[in-house]
Amino acid sequence: MDSGVDSTHIDLDDNFVSEQDLVSGNLTNYHGTHVAGIIAAEKNDQFIHGVAYDADIVSARFIGSSSNTAIQDGLNYLVNQGAQVVNNSWGVVINNEEVPITGGEAAGVLFNDGAGVDKSIIDAALSSQVAAFTDAINNDAIIVFASGNAGMSQVGLYSGLPYYYPELEPNWITVGALNSDGNIASYSNRCGVAKEFCLFAPGTGILSTYAGTSSYATMSGTSMAAPHVSGAAAILLQAFPHLSSSQIVDILLTSATDLGETGVDDIYGHGLLNLEAATEPIGEQNIPIGATVDDSNIATTMSTIELGKAFGDALSVSNAQLIVLDDYQRAFNVGLNQFVQAPNYSRNLMADFNKFGDSYFTNNIQIGSDYNFAYTNELKDSVDTYFENEQESYEYRANFTAKQASSYIGLGYNTDITKTIGFSGVDFYDNSLSLTQHNATNAFYGFADKSNNIAAKYKVNNNVTLGVVSAITTNDAEHNTNLISSEISYNTGSYGMALQAGILTEQDTFLGSQTSGAFANNNTTKTNFIGLAGNANITNKTSVYATYSLGNTNANTADNSVITSYNDIISDSFSAGLVSKQVFDKHDEVGFSVSQPLRVRAGQANATLPTGRDNAGNIITSNHALSLKPQGREIDVEGYYKTKLGDNTGLRIGGLYRHEPQHIENSDNEALFMIKFDHKF
């Protein structure tokens, strides 16, 4: 609604659709052409482009009309042409004074009433125009109005109509102008009583199209600010066609950048138009898991995938996409990897050093020849304990063993099951000096490293031993881990071997991974595993060993999860090394090993991901097979040396090199070196 548009302009001609001319005579159309360019000048490598450069332009040329029905006729024409946004960069001026929405001498002149404006006067004088605006809004059009250029404390008469007619407000935005410095322009009207439906936009020194085939000009005014908002509304309608006009208005107001006093105020209203924020999610974001946007949704803040160590960078490098819905049920694409929390197990170097080479149990009580009670009451693994003045926290663990003839039994509290009665397959490698976890042991025993357990062994003859262990680890009230394993070992003294088989049962986790919300698995997961270990003496002082662990995990998903199933997850680990004694003196020992921590070698999660929505609210999905195999592979090379320097003095040295730590491809390699000298007084 303006002075007309030059349809021959090179930046407007392709977007121009039609115009109704309600003006008698050949009046210039420079103003309307400038406004139209700000809204929808084409992106064609010419001088400028508009905010919504793909929008169609329909024009009602009415400024300068002598008709009493020009406003109504123009609005009706635009509505009939299907206009979804109606820009109004015009107002009422009497005796060179702009008419405000409330009060003012000019208003009294207009209505022959010195008291100014009130609703009864507008009802009598503007009823047909109000009806035309109401009809446009009932046809879901958005009305954008320039607030006026008189520097008044109130917006202009027409731009403030929703103040008197609140039924217009849901589809109405009044726009003031800012200077280039981001402050209100001196000429711009303040929002005043229109603050609840008022925005600001750039309005000073705006370059746009001008009357003439290839003419451009710089102009200032709220007339230049309003089309910025109209263009923004058109962008939202194009990007989110399911939205109603009132939702578009609400988004533009809600997403505005606050100016002036905090919150909605009399000067700036809601603040500065922010199209970037308007096209980003507003409010709580949810993952749709039903057939329509109105079905079940789960908040993104409640939806996570916390992967265990064995998965490394799996899923975090996935390029799978899904949608989230905001408060307006708008769909936004996000990467699945945004919900993945890859393992981040940073080392506590001080705690590692404190334990380096120390006995697992620091106190032993021998009861006769057949019974032993061992315990430790040690500081927890906390850097704060050593470097900050915080209250120390202790961790207690204990073990009781009994021996009777060829039978052994052990009870452990908060202990590693490999320490209960040496349930490790290879028991000559000094793991107290290992800087990796569970080197030379079955990798799956690591899930019971702080467990309550019971273990038993029976020595069949001098070479063959049978064993069984059962352990439970309580991580929290909802996530328990149970492990049961058996072992048969054969040892001649010169060489030995062991075979282990067991079941690891996890509640709501799988291989230490925990998922929630839209990715939840809330059922029992079982891993069947085996372990092989062997060692041989190559001299009377040097031995070599090798271990291998292999597991098959069967994970389940929750009913309301986008993860529909898991294929069998295969994981394995290995280690190999040697130990040599009396290398430099009769008390020393050297160990060396190469190992791979537990790593998934095969497996996938099958997901039905929401990838879009249609205008009717139906959710579009696609199926994905998501590999759970990490791209990286951690390989650890480590060694240790220990010796006695006297009856009460010892020296321990250890080193570790980690390639692609945590199975994360191209992650920085790590090197760790420790030397520990101790003397007992």
In terms of domains, do 264 and 355 share one? no
When pLDDT is cut at 50, 70 and 90, the band that residue 390 belongs to is very low
The three state secondary structure string of 266-329 is CCCECCECCHHHHCCCCCCCEEECCCECCCCEEEHHHCCEECCHHHCCCCCCCCCEEEEECCCC
Residues ≥6 apart with Cβ < 8 Å to 372: 364, 365, 366, 400, 401
Q: What is the pLDDT of residue 481?
A: 92
In terms of domains, do 245 and 354 share one? no
When pLDDT is cut at 50, 70 and 90, the band that residue 419 belongs to is confident
In terms of domains, do 365 and 268 share one? no
Give Cα separations from 92 to 24, 97, 149, 632 (angstroms).
Answer: 19, 8, 11, 70
The answer, yes or no, to whether residue 383 has pLDDT greater than 90, is no
- 625 within a domain of the structure (yes/no): yes
Q: What is the pLDDT of residue 353?
A: 79
| CA-based R_g, the chain, Å | 38
Residues 281 and 326 sit within 8 Å (Cβ to Cβ): yes
In terms of domains, do 385 and 249 share one? no
- 248 within a domain of the structure (yes/no): yes
Q: What is the pLDDT of residue 558?
A: 87
When pLDDT is cut at 50, 70 and 90, the band that residue 112 belongs to is very low
Domain boundary among 278, 301, 333: 278
In terms of domains, do 354 and 256 share one? no
Q: What is the pLDDT of residue 617?
A: 96
Segment 95-112 mean pLDDT: 67
The pTM assigned to this predicted structure is: 0.84
Q: What is the pLDDT of residue 395?
A: 76
Residues 394 and 375 sit within 8 Å (Cβ to Cβ): no
Among 202-216, 364-378, 420-434, 486-500, the range of highest mean pLDDT: 202-216
Segment 481-489 mean pLDDT: 94
How many Cβ atoms are within 10 Å of 622's Cβ, its own excluded?
Answer: 13
- 601 within a domain of the structure (yes/no): yes
When pLDDT is cut at 50, 70 and 90, the band that residue 341 belongs to is confident
The answer, yes or no, to whether residue 323 has pLDDT greater than 90, is yes
- Distance CA(279)–CA(256), nearest Å, equals 11
Range of the domain at 123: 88-278
- Distance CA(222)–CA(175), nearest Å, equals 7
The answer, yes or no, to whether residue 178 has pLDDT greater than 80, is yes
Q: Is 320 left (phi over 0), alpha (psi -120 to 50) or beta?
A: beta
In terms of domains, do 260 and 379 share one? no
Segment 241-252 mean pLDDT: 97
- 207 within a domain of the structure (yes/no): yes
- 653 within a domain of the structure (yes/no): yes
In terms of domains, do 567 and 646 share one? yes
Q: What is the pLDDT of residue 386?
A: 33
Smallest CA-to-CA distance from 272 within 181, 407, 160, 208 is with: 181
Segment 186-206 mean pLDDT: 97
In terms of domains, do 372 and 270 share one? no
- 507 or 425: which leads in pLDDT: 507
Residues in the chain: 681
Smallest CA-to-CA distance from 469 within 445, 437, 441 is with: 445
Residues 635 and 600 sit within 8 Å (Cβ to Cβ): no
Residue 240's CATH number: 3.40.50.200
Q: What is the mean pLDDT of the chain?
A: 90
The answer, yes or no, to whether residue 155 has pLDDT greater than 50, is yes
- 258 within a domain of the structure (yes/no): yes
Domain boundary among 261, 278, 295: 278
- 562 or 404: which leads in pLDDT: 562
When pLDDT is cut at 50, 70 and 90, the band that residue 345 belongs to is low
Segment 610-622 mean pLDDT: 96
When pLDDT is cut at 50, 70 and 90, the band that residue 536 belongs to is very high
- 3 within a domain of the structure (yes/no): no
Beta strands 206-210; 495-507: pairing state = unpaired
Q: Which helix (H) or strand (E) holds 373?
A: strand 371-379
Tell me what percent of the residues of the chain surpass a pLDDT of 90: 71
Which of 200-214, 382-396, 546-560 comes out lowest in average pLDDT?
A: 382-396
Residues 452 and 469 sit within 8 Å (Cβ to Cβ): no
In terms of domains, do 383 and 463 share one? yes
Q: How many domains does the chain have?
A: 2
Residues 636 and 642 sit within 8 Å (Cβ to Cβ): no
In terms of domains, do 260 and 375 share one? no
In terms of domains, do 355 and 214 share one? no
Residues 663 and 636 sit within 8 Å (Cβ to Cβ): no
- Say what angle helices 127-138 and 70-80 make with each other, to 10 degrees: 10
Residues 469 and 436 sit within 8 Å (Cβ to Cβ): no
Q: Is 479 left (phi over 0), alpha (psi -120 to 50) or beta?
A: beta
CA angle 46, 51, 54 (to 5 degrees): 70
Residues 481 and 473 sit within 8 Å (Cβ to Cβ): yes
Q: What is the pLDDT of residue 441?
A: 84
Domain boundary among 233, 253, 278: 278
Which of 257-261, 268-272, 290-294, 441-445 comes out lowest in average pLDDT?
A: 441-445
Residue 498's CATH number: 2.40.160
Residue the block writes with tokens 């090379």 = 637
When pLDDT is cut at 50, 70 and 90, the band that residue 242 belongs to is very high
Which tokens is 321 given?
């996409």
Q: Is 290 left (phi over 0), alpha (psi -120 to 50) or beta?
A: beta
- 14 within a domain of the structure (yes/no): no
Q: What is the pLDDT of residue 385?
A: 34
Smallest CA-to-CA distance from 303 within 282, 277, 331, 325 is with: 325
When pLDDT is cut at 50, 70 and 90, the band that residue 150 belongs to is very high
In terms of domains, do 271 and 397 share one? no
- What's the pLDDT tens digit per position in 37-74? 999 999 998 889 999 999 999 999 999 888 889 999 99
Which tokens is 558 given?
């929750």
Q: What is the pLDDT of residue 614?
A: 95
Q: Is 148 left (phi over 0), alpha (psi -120 to 50) or beta?
A: left
Segment 643-651 mean pLDDT: 90
When pLDDT is cut at 50, 70 and 90, the band that residue 392 belongs to is very low
Distance of CA 560 to the CA centre of its chain: 20
Residues 677 and 641 sit within 8 Å (Cβ to Cβ): no
When pLDDT is cut at 50, 70 and 90, the band that residue 404 belongs to is confident
When pLDDT is cut at 50, 70 and 90, the band that residue 376 belongs to is confident
Segment 303-310 mean pLDDT: 93
**471 phi/psi in degrees, rounded to 5:** -140, 150
Percent of the chain that is helix, strand, coil (3-state, to 5): 20, 40, 40
Q: What is the pLDDT of residue 394?
A: 62
Segment 124-138 mean pLDDT: 95
Residues 44 and 13 sit within 8 Å (Cβ to Cβ): no
**Alpha helices per DSSP H over 260-380:** 275-278, 349-355
